[in-house]
């Protein structure tokens, strides 16, 4: 009898090693990549097993430790992996789980296995790709241990190493990734932490602790535990934003073993953050759970709005895009048998989930609207504004497409160039009417167009598209460029080779420059990318001696120019600080800033626009703290704030 067991053990252990060898030969097949991403997958494989144990209702605490030698330990307080002989392999279940490919499936048929995408390939894959693995199991008052080396070769078969408290149970796994397999063997704490926090949001009540023992000073690490689960995830995402209703709507339902949950809150922004998960895995491409919710959201809002006369008979229904403006939403589904579809397996396919999601969401959300009429009004009011904006923006886009240079209003502003050849034409966007006047007189009217800006243009970051498109200055710019915007944008229709922003070197000038860059970034990015946008560099100093007039850009250039002059000339030179574009006469402006042969232009890049954008976020965004800090830190520079 004994002999037979051994025989079975031997023959299956050969098969087992052949299986693990296949993983080592083609690791990409099992974990996607062997770069830093693949390295971190190993951790999630092991953590997923502990989470499965918690989903089965037996585990409350998980600890993740990056050890000094870059091995990782994952410890749970579940029931402990079974140690008795597995009927199919003739070896213990814990050894089976770590050596037989795909043996990590459901043991009791009840749990929602975390398996989808690249996860769920099992602990044996981690073993195959590790230099060594140690598994310790606490159960039945005993401590069991098994150790593998060099891609899954068992060096210490399962044995008892001691005793423990009768009520102590759990599994502790430590593994060291094989440096021959991975491009890097250094774990990134931040990467592990972010996903650990997400797992805590997605598994309410489960406590996850993570610590980095490579850093000697830190011994306790960080613990994530959220009794509120995904509603705390929504609060976390919205913490930098301004919610428009206080309570987070959190709805939960279950049908035939499929658990469905959604949490949501609207904020004042114009974007949406909707994330969906199945068995803790992010379904990037949505799927039936997301479709069910979205369909129900639009339907319930429209029906409530009609019943309460917020939408009139003549009004058309609100669309998906309208009801999701400013929405932060987390959708989580736990499914015993999920079908993942699509190229990257990022979409849930199970069709029964669509109706489950729809019914759980519509019933709960309807009740919320009925019980909270003020919130209902606020939420629907925002959707109606979004709808109005969408329709106005469409009209405006159509109008900019149709509009041409014959608009009388438009002629009043732009002094176009005579040439109709875009390759030789330029447009100067000039701050203020007086500088605009000088620029008109000083230009080469054959190739140079002048567009003076009267006031400050609208900040497109803080306005919906429709408002931006209603702004006179912006309309003029769009018409002048000739390209149209949005779905009608056509770079080949650009009427000028160079778009030159001409503003003063002071705070107001910087402000206008930032507004223009933000506008270009949001509406005309391809024009910037193609290198058509420039900033003129008006000089800061004028030096006159005898009949000579010399302009220089800055103090540095001023000093080096003065040094180059003979001493007697230098002593009699008249140096004037130029105050602004408006103070130059036409001739001066031409000579210093516009003449193709003398002027200095600085090409504007997309990075410049992004920088301008973030300055704006800081100066004008919703967040008070970054703004205060930014102003404090830059207070002494603000006089010359030059972006």
So which residues are the catalytic ones?
431, 504, 506, 508
DSSP state of 569: H
**49 in contact with ligand 0RA (CB under 6 A):** yes
Give least dist CB 80 to ligand 0RA, A: 6
Q: In the complex, what is the shortest distance from the CB of residue 16 to ligand 0RA, in angstroms, rounded to a whole number?
A: 18
List, in order, residues 6 or more apart from 312 with CB less than 8 Å away.
none
Q: Which is nearer to ligand 0RA, 72 or 515 (CB)?
A: 72
Closest CA to 168 of 75, 77, 54, 81: 77
User: Closest CB to ligand 0RA among 78 and 538?
Assistant: 78
Is 53 a binder of ligand 0RA (CB under 6 A)? Answer: yes
502 forms beta bridges with 430
Q: What's the residue count for the chain?
A: 643
Stretch that binds ligand 0RA, among 75-83, 187-195, 337-345, 376-384 (CB under 6 A): 75-83
SS (HEC) of 365-433: HHHHHHHCHHHHHHHHHHHHHHHHHHHHHHHHHHHHHHCCCCCHHHHCCCECCCCCCCCCCEEEEEECH
* Among the residue ranges 74-82, 289-297, 372-380, 452-460, the one whose residues contact ligand 0RA (CB under 6 A): 74-82
CB of 82: closest distance to ligand 0RA in angstroms? 4
Selected range binding ligand 0RA among 46-54, 350-358, 564-572, 573-581, rule: CB under 6 A: 46-54
Q: Which CB, 106 or 545, lies closer to ligand 0RA?
A: 106
Is the CB of 82 or the CB of 482 nearer to ligand 0RA?
A: 82
Nearer to ligand 0RA, 207 or 269 (CB): 207
Contact indicator for 297, 303 with CB cutoff of 8 Å: no
| CA distances from residue 561 to 467, 505, 517, 544 in whole angstroms, order as listed | 49, 21, 33, 12
Among 171, 419, 518, 592, binds ligand 0RA (CB under 6 A): 171
Output the DSSP codes for 1-54. -HHHHHHHHHHHHHHHHHHHHHHHH-HHHHHS-SSHHHHHHHHHHHHHHHHHHH
SS3 512: helix
Smallest gap from residue 78 Cβ to ligand 0RA (A):
4
What is the x/- site pattern for ligand 0RA, positions 213-252, by CB under 6 A? ----------------------------------------
Question: What part of residues 586-605 is at the interface with ligand 0RA (CB under 6 A)?
Answer: none
How many residues form the binding site for ligand 0RA (CB under 6 A)?
12
Burial class (CB in 10 A: 0-12, 13-18, 19+), 558: buried
- Least spacing, CB of residue 148 vs ligand 0RA, in Å: 15
Nearer to ligand 0RA, 59 or 589 (CB): 59
Q: Answer whether 191's CB lies under 8 Å from 40's CB.
A: yes
Looking at the Cβ atoms of 80 and 437, the one nearer to ligand 0RA is 80
SS3 call for 116: coil
Query: For residues 159 and 525, which CB has a smaller minimum distance to ligand 0RA in the complex?
Result: 159
> Of 342-401, which residues contact ligand 0RA (CB under 6 A)?
none
With 0-12 / 13-18 / 19 or more C-beta atoms within 10 angstroms meaning exposed / middle / buried, residue 411 is exposed
CB 355 within 8 A of CB 295: no
3-state secondary structure of 590: helix
In whole angstroms, the minimum distance from the beta carbon of 209 to ligand 0RA comes to: 16
CB of 143 to ligand 0RA, least distance (A): 15
* Ramachandran category for residue 150: left, alpha or beta (phi over 0 → left; psi -120 to 50 → alpha): left
Chain residues 6-45 in contact with ligand 0RA, contact rule CB under 6 A: none
Asked whether the CA dihedral 345, 349, 354, 360 is positive or negative, the reply is negative
Instruction: Give whichever of 137 and 379 is closer to ligand 0RA, judged by the CB atom.
Output: 137
**Spatial distance between the Cα atoms of 285 and 267, rounded to a whole number of angstroms:** 23
What tokens appear for 201 in the block? 């949001």
The residue with tokens 């011994």 is 219
* Residue 172, CA distances (Å) to 111, 143, 184, 543 in order: 20, 11, 24, 78
Q: CA–CA separation, 202 vs 642, rounded Å?
A: 45
Cα–Cα distance measured from residue 43 to residue 187, given in angstroms and rounded to the nearest whole number:
10
- Give me the helix-helix angle, 230-237 and 189-202, nearest 10°: 130
Residues 282-341 that bind ligand 0RA (CB under 6 A): none
- Candidate segments 49-57, 300-308, 448-456, 630-638, binder of ligand 0RA by CB under 6 A: 49-57
> Among all residues, whose Cβ is closest to ligand 0RA?
107
Separation between Cα atoms, residue 452 and residue 377, nearest integer Å: 43
Per CB under 6 A, contacts with ligand 0RA among 76-105 are: 76, 78-82
Nearer to ligand 0RA by Cβ, of 114 and 369: the residue is 114
Q: How far is the CB of 462 from ligand 0RA (least distance, A)?
A: 50
Q: Is 208 in the site for ligand 0RA (CB under 6 A)?
A: no
Minimum Å distance from CB 466 to ligand 0RA? Answer: 55
Which range binds ligand 0RA by CB under 6 A, 47-55, 177-185, 479-487, 524-532? Answer: 47-55
Q: Shortest approach of ligand 0RA to residue 28 CB, angstroms?
A: 25
Closer to ligand 0RA by CB, 80 or 432: give it: 80
- In the region spanning residues 101 to 160, those forming contacts with ligand 0RA, defined by CB under 6 A, are 107-108
The least CB distance from residue 97 to ligand 0RA, in Å, is 7
Q: Is 82 or 486 the residue whose CB approaches ligand 0RA more closely? A: 82
* CA distance to 121, 230, 378, 395, 573, per residue, from 38 (Å): 12, 27, 45, 49, 69
* Shortest distance, position 177 Cβ to ligand 0RA, whole Å: 18
How many Cβ atoms sit within 10 Å of the Cβ of residue 264? 26
- What six digits make up the tokens of 641? 């704030």
* Contacts to ligand 0RA by CB under 6 A: 49-50, 53, 76, 78-82, 107-108, 171
């Amino acid at each position: 009898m004994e002999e037979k067991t051994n025989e079975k053990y031997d023959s299956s252990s050969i098969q087992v090693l052949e299986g693990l060898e296949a993983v080592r030969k083609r690791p990409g097949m099992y974990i996607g990549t062997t770069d830093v991403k693949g390295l971190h997958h190993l951790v999630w494989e092991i953590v997923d097993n502990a989470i499965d144990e918690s989903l089965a209702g037996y585990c409350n605490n998980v600890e993740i430790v990056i050890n000094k030698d870059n091995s990782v330990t994952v410890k749970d307080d579940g029931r402990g992996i079974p140690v008795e002989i597995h009927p199919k392999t003739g070896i213990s279940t814990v050894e089976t789980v770590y050596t037989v490919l795909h043996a990590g499936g459901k043991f009791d048929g009840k749990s929602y296995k975390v398996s989808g995408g690249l996860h769920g390939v099992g602990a044996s894959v981690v073993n195959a790709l590790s230099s060594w693995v140690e598994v310790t199991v606490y159960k039945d008052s005993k401590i069991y241990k098994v150790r593998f080396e060099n891609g899954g070769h068992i060096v210490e078969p399962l044995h008892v190493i001691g005793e423990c408290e009768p009520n102590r149970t759990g599994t502790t796994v430590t593994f060291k990734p094989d440096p021959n397999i991975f491009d890097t063997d250094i774990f990134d704490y931040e990467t592990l932490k972010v996903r650990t926090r997400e797992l805590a949001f997605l598994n309410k009540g489960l406590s996850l602790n993570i610590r980095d023992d490579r850093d000697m000073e830190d011994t306790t690490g960080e613990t994530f535990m959220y009794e509120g689960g995904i509603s705390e995830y929504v609060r976390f995402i919205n913490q930098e934003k301004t919610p428009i209703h206080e309570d987070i709507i959190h709805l939960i339902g279950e049908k035939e073993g499929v658990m469905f949950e959604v949490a949501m809150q609207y904020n004042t922004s114009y974007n949406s953050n909707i994330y969906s998960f199945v068995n803790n895995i992010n379904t990037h491409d949505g799927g039936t759970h997301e479709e069910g919710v979205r369909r129900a959201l639009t339907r319930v809002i429209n029906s409530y709005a009609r019943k309460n006369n917020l939408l009139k008979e003549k009004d058309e229904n609100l669309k998906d895009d309208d009801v999701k403006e400013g929405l932060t939403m987390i959708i989580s589904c736990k499914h015993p048998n999920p079908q993942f579809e699509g190229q990257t397996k990022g979409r849930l396919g199970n069709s029964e989930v669509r109706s489950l999601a729809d019914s759980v969401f519509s019933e709960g959300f309807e009740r919320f609207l009925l019980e909270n009429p003020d919130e209902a009004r606020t939420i629907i009011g925002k959707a109606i504004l979004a709808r109005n904006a969408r329709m106005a923006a469409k009209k405006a886009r159509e109008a900019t497409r149709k509009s041409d240079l014959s608009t009388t209003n438009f002629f009043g502003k732009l002094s176009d160039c005579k040439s109709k050849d875009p390759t030789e034409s330029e447009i100067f966007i000039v701050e203020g009417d007086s500088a605009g006047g000088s620029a008109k007189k000083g230009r080469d009217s054959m190739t140079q167009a002048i567009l003076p800006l009267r006031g400050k243009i609208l900040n497109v970051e803080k306005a919906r598209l429709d408002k931006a498109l209603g702004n006179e200055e912006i309309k003029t710019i769009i018409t002048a460029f000739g390209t149209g915007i949005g779905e009608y944008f056509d770079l080949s229709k650009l009427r000028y080779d160079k778009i030159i922003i001409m503003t003063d070197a002071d705070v107001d000038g910087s402000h206008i420059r930032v507004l223009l860059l933000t506008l270009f970034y949001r509406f005309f990015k391809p024009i910037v990318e193609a290198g058509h946008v420039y900033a003129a560099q008006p000089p800061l100093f004028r030096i006159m001696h005898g009949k000579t007039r010399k302009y220089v850009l800055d103090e540095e250039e001023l000093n080096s120019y003065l040094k180059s002059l003979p001493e007697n000339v230098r002593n009699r030179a008249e140096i004037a600080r130029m105050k602004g574009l408006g103070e130059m006469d036409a001739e001066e402006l031409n000579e210093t800033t516009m003449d193709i042969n003398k002027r200095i232009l600085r090409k504007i890049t997309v990075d410049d626009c992004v920088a301008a954008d973030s300055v704006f976020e800081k100066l004008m965004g919703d967040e008070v703290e970054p703004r205060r800090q930014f102003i404090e830190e830059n207070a002494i520079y603000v006089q010359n704030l030059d972006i």
